[in-house]
A and B are shown apart, each in its own frame.
Chain A
C-alpha cells in the first residue's frame, strides 16, 4: 500500500440546493486500489459518485486527482483529467441509436489520432475482453441487460483509463454474471493498473474485490468508517457497519459463530428520513 495517492477527497459536503445529502467526507484512494463505497439505500452513495465524476459540484470541499483539484480546474484541465476516466453507469447509458462497435469507438474517435482500421481492431479487442466478440453490429436494445452492462464496460475501457468508476455494477445481473464482472474488474486492475472506484451494496462483490471500503450512513448523512472489508466486519466500532457486512454470512453460521454479535446490533436505519 505504498502506491501514491490517486484520488484525494477532503471536507466534502454534497447536496442539491439547500438539502445537504453528505457532509465531512474525506478519504484517499491509492493508485491501483479497488475502493468500494457502500451503505444502505438513500445514503448518498450515488451522489458521492456523481460528484467524483464531475457531474455534481460540491457545496464545500475538494476532490483532487493526482493532486489536481478537479472543481478548481479550468475547462481544459478538467477535460484533461476526465480523459483518464472510464465510467460504467448503472443503466449502462449506451447510446441507443448506435451499434455496440460505434459506442465503443466513439471515445477513440474523439480522443485519439488512430486510423479507422486501428480503431476497429481496438474496438474488437475491447468487446472480446468483455466476452462480446462478434456483437459489434448489434444495437444495445437487442441485447440482454448483462450484455449491455458488459458493453458499457467495454466503452468505459476504450481509452485504457487510469481510473474506472462503477455505479452498482452487479445491479440486475445474475450471480454468475456478477462474479464474472468482478473477476474482469480485478483482471483489469492487475493488468492495466487502473484505480477502481465502485459504488455497490453487494456484499459478495465487496468481499471478493475490495481492498478498502467506505461506509456511508443515511441517518448521520456522513461516513461512518473506512478500511478493508474484513477488518470493518470484525472490528468496526460502529454496530451498523458490522451488521451490514455480516449479512454476507449465512444466518445459521452467524448464529453459531457470531452469536455474541447479534444482541448488540440495533436495527440499521435504511432509508432517508
Chain B
C-alpha cells in the first residue's frame, strides 16, 4: 500500500521521487526512514514529481517540508518546482519564518540533579518561613487597623467553614465516639469495669480525637478549597491585580481565611467533643450502662483542663491548615495542572503538619505535667 504512494528513480546524478495516489490525513503515510537514508551526501539533487497525485492535503505538505529540510541539512539540491500550485504557496508560507533553534537545555547529570533538588528544598523551606513572617506582619497591621482586609470576607469564610461543615463533622465525631467506646469496652470488660467507658470516651474525645478529627476534615475541606481558590486567582492574574492596586494579597486574601478558620475550628472541636460523647453513650446503652450512669461518670471524669488541651490543639491546627492552604495557593503556577498540584500539596502538607504538631503538643503537655 505504502510503496505505491511514492517511488524513487535514478536519473543520471539526480534522484526523482514520484508521488502518486491520494495523500490525505484520513489515509496512511508511507514510512520515510528508508527513503531518507538513501538521501545522503552522495546524492546531488532530488526532484519531486507530483504528477501522479490525485488528492492531497496537509499530509503531502508536511512530507515535502520534511524532505526539503532533510535535503537542506545535507546540501542536496531539492527541486520542488513541479508542485501543485496551492502546495507551493503553503510551503512558502511555512518557510517564511525561519525555525527557532532548539532552545531547550539538555538533561543534567544526576549529581547536578541532586544539588538542584537540595537547593529547591532549601528554597521552599525558607520561602515557607518567609510566608509565616508575612502573615505575622499582616496580623500586626491588622492590630494597628492598617491591614487591607474586609470584615465581610471574614464572615463569608466563617459561614463556609462553620455551619456548612457541621454535617460531616457530626457524622465523623459520632463514629469516632463509637469507635473509642468499643475499643475501651472490650478491654474494660475483662475487669468488669465497663462503666469506665465513659471516662475513656470523654477524655479521648476532648484531649485528642475531637481536635484531630475536626482538623483532618477541615484540612481536606477548607485547606483544599483555600489552595484551589488562591491558585485559580494566581492563574487568572488576580493576585497581580491586587498587588498593582497596592493591596497586599496576604492582608486581603490570607488574613480573612486564616482568622475565620482560627475562630471556627475550636468551635467545631467543641461540637465534635460533645457528639463523640453522644456516640459513646449509644454504645454504652447496648452494654447495660444506664444513660444517667454514663452522664454522671462523664461529669466526674471530664475536666476543664482536658477541654482546654483539645482547644489549644485545634487553634494550632487551624493556623497550620489555613497557612498551608494559602501558601500553596499563592505559590502556584499559572496552568490548570498547577492548580491541581497546589491543592494536593496543601492537603498533604497540612495533614502532615497536623500529625506532627499533635505529637509535639502531646509531648509538651506531658512535660508540663498537664
Selected contact of B98 from candidates A108, A124, A133, A184, CB within 8 Å = A133
Contacts of B334 in A (CB 8 A): 96, 141
- The answer to whether A160 touches B94, judged by C-beta atoms less than 8 angstroms apart, is no
B62 at the interface (CB under 8 A from A): yes
Q: A125-137 toward B: CB 8 Å interface, digit per residue (1/0)?
A: 1101101111101
Q: Which of B32, B59, B96 contacts A122 (CB 8 A)?
A: B59
B99 is contacted by which of A128, A141, A159, A190 (Cβ under 8 Å)? A128
B94 & A125 in contact (Cβ 8 Å cutoff):
yes
B residues less than 8 Å from A112 (CB atoms): 25-26
Task: List the one stretch of B85-93, B170-178, B303-311, B359-367 in contact with chain A.
Answer: B85-93
Number of A residues near B (Cβ < 8 Å) is: 34
Shortest Cβ distance from B61 into A: residue: A125
Please, which residues of chain A bring their CB within 8 A of the CB of B63? 118, 121
CB distance A118 to B29 under 8 Å?
yes
Distance (whole angstroms) from the CB of A172 to the closest CB of chain B: 13
* Other-chain residue from A125, A135, A159, A190 in contact with B62 (beta carbon distance below 8 A): A125
Instruction: Give the dominant DSSP class at B's interface.
Output: loop
Cβ of B247 to closest chain A Cβ, rounded Å: 25
Contacts of A67 in B (CB 8 A): none
User: Does A79 touch B at the CB level, under 8 Å?
Assistant: no
Does B109 lie at the interface of the complex (its beta carbon under 8 Å from any beta carbon of A)?
no
Closest to B101 in A: A134
**CB contact list, B24-54 vs A, under 8 A:** 25-26, 28-29, 31-33
> What residue of chain B has the Cβ atom nearest to residue A83's Cβ?
B26
What per-residue 1/0 map shows which CB atoms of B3-18 lie under 8 Å from chain A? Answer: 0000000000000000
A130 CA to B249 CA, complexed, in Å: 39
B65 (CB) vs chain A CBs: closest residue: A125
Given A125-B58, A134-B100, A115 and B31 contact (CB-CB distance below 8 Å)? yes
Closest Cβ neighbor of B338 among chain A residues:
A96
Contact of A117 with B32 at beta-carbon distance under 8 Å, contacts A96-B337, A124-B65, A125-B58 already known: yes
Q: Given the known inter-chain contacts A133-B97, A141-B334, please indicate yes or no for A124 contacting B62, CB distance below 8 A.
A: yes
- A residues 74-130 touching B (CB-CB < 8 Å): 95-97, 108, 112-115, 117-118, 121-122, 124-126, 128-129
Interface string of A5-17 (1 = CB under 8 A from B): 0000000000000
Q: Encode A161-184 as 1/0 by CB contact (under 8 A) with B.
A: 000000000000000000000001
B90 is contacted by which of A113, A114, A131, A191 (Cβ under 8 Å)? A191
Residues of B within 8 A of A140 (CB): 335
Tell me how far the C-beta of A154 lies from the nearest C-beta in chain B, rounded to whole angstroms. Answer: 11
Nearest opposing residue in chain B for A133, CB measure: B99
Cβ distance B101 to chain A, nearest Cβ, rounded Å: 7
Assembly CA distance A123 to B263 (angstroms): 55
- Is B336 an interface residue when CB atoms closer than 8 A count as contact? yes
A126 and B59 contacting across the interface, CB-CB below 8 Å:
no
B245 contacts A by Cβ under 8 Å: no
Cβ–Cβ < 8 Å partners of A235 in chain B = none
Q: How far is the CB of A73 from chain B (nearest CB, A)?
A: 20
Given A125-B58, A125-B62, CB of A114 within 8 Å of CB of B29: yes
Does B126 lie at the interface of the complex (its beta carbon under 8 Å from any beta carbon of A)? no
Q: Is B57 an interface residue (CB 8 A)?
A: yes
Bound form: Cα–Cα A190–B65 in Å: 19
Residues of A within 8 A of B337 (CB): 96-97
Could you tell me if B102 and A134 are in contact, using CB atoms closer than 8 angstroms? yes
The reply to whether B100 and A133 contact each other, CB–CB distance below 8 Å, is: yes
Judge whether B104 is part of the interface by a CB distance below 8 angstroms.
yes
On whether A122 and B31 interact (CB within 8 A), knowing A96-B335, A191-B89, the answer reads no
- Set B66, B333, B335: member contacting A121, Cβ < 8 A: B66
Q: Shortest beta-carbon distance, A78 to chain B, in Å?
A: 18
Residue of B nearest to A187 (CB): B93
**Chain A minimum-CB-distance residue to B86:** A191
Determine if A134 and B31 form an interchain contact, defined as CB atoms under 8 angstroms apart. Answer: no
CB of B332, distance to nearest CB on chain A (Å): 12
Type the 1/0 row for A189-220, where 1 means its CB is closer than 8 Å to any CB of B: 01110000000000000000000000000000
Cβ–Cβ < 8 Å partners of B33 in chain A:
117
Residues of B within 8 A of A128 (CB): 65, 94-95, 97, 99
Within 8 A of A (CB), among B321-342: 333-337
B25 in contact with A160 (CB, 8 Å): yes
The reply on A56 being an interface residue by CB < 8 A is no
Q: A114-B29, A118-B59, A141-B335 are in contact. Are A133 and B86 (CB under 8 A)?
A: no
- Interface membership of A139, Cβ < 8 A: yes
The residue that A137 contacts in the complex, of B31, B90, B104, B333, with Cβ under 8 A, is B104
What 10 additional pairs, Cβ within 8 angstroms, besides A118-B29, A132-B97, A137-B104?
A: A97-B337, A112-B25, A114-B25, A115-B29, A122-B59, A126-B58, A128-B94, A137-B102, A141-B334, A141-B335
A residues with a Cβ closer than 8 A to B are: 95-97, 108, 112-115, 117-118, 121-122, 124-126, 128-129, 131-135, 137, 139-141, 157, 159-160, 184, 187, 190-192
**Among all A-B residue pairs, the 4 with the closest Cβ atoms:** A134-B100, A96-B335, A125-B62, A133-B99
